[in-house]
């Protein structure tokens, strides 16, 4: 948060690619992995993560906490994925090559399948809580839902998983 005598919140363009590239090297891997956990599709996760960087580019000068802002964009894009209008792309979509991922060990695979089967609202809060390690207050702010709702969704999500994990154990 920056302090000015009279604020001028209009974005300044912010297309200094060095800053963006710096952010990319620091945050891209984490962004695409967050997207992957939220939507389960590696190729789409790459697209969304790249889209997030394109979106933050013109705002970078005005953003005080780029990693947090980037995370907000990624989460929002993931919530909307599948419905993006073709008109939003200014160029043909990039050809993204996804490296085949190694198979998961049995226990992990079971848990991951169970997570993917959760309703999106519960999956979101579990990923943000147990992979991104965000406090519930931050999750509530990020998802724009009440704090108690975050806790309820976490509890219900864990309860759903518990059955799978109990059987698995």
How does DSSP classify residue 12?
-
Q: Hey, which residues between 91 and 130 contact another protein (CB under 8 A)?
A: 91, 94, 96-99, 101-102, 104-105, 107-108, 111-112, 115, 119-121, 126-127, 129-130
Torsion (CA) 15, 98, 72, 19 in degrees, nearest 10: -30
Using CA atoms, how far apart are residues 124 and 138, in angstroms rounded to an integer? Answer: 13
158 binds another protein (CB under 8 A): yes
Residue 70 Cβ vs another protein, minimum distance, rounded to whole Å: 9
Cα distances (angstroms) measured from residue 135 to each of 139, 150, 162, 164: 6, 10, 21, 25
Residue 57 Cβ vs another protein, minimum distance, rounded to whole Å: 5
Nearest to 127 by CA among 158, 103, 101: 158
57 binds another protein (CB under 8 A): yes
Q: Hey, which residues between 59 and 88 contact another protein (CB under 8 A)?
A: 59, 62-66, 68-69, 72-73, 76-77, 79-80, 82-85, 87-88
Q: Which of 18, 20, 22, 44 binds another protein (CB under 8 A)?
A: 20
41 binds another protein (CB under 8 A): no
Strands (DSSP E) along 19-155, which ranges? none
């Amino acid at each position: 948060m920056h302090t000015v005598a009279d604020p001028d919140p209009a974005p300044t363009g912010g297309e200094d690619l060095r800053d963006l590239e710096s952010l990319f090297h620091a945050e891209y891997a984490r962004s695409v992995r967050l997207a992957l956990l939220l939507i389960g599709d590696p190729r789409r996760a790459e697209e969304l993560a790249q889209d997030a960087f394109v979106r933050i580019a013109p705002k970078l000068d005005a953003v005080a906490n780029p990693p947090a802002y980037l995370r907000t964009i990624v989460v929002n894009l993931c919530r909307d994925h599948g419905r993006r209008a073709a008109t939003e792309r200014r160029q043909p979509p990039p050809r993204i090559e996804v490296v085949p991922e190694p198979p998961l060990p049995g226990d992990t695979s079971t848990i991951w399948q169970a997570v993917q089967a959760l309703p999106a609202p519960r999956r979101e809060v579990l990923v943000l809580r147990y992979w991104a390690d965000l406090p519930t207050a931050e999750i509530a702010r990020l998802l724009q839902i009440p704090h108690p709702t975050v806790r309820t969704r976490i509890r219900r999500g864990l309860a759903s998983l518990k059955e799978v994990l109990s059987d698995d154990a």
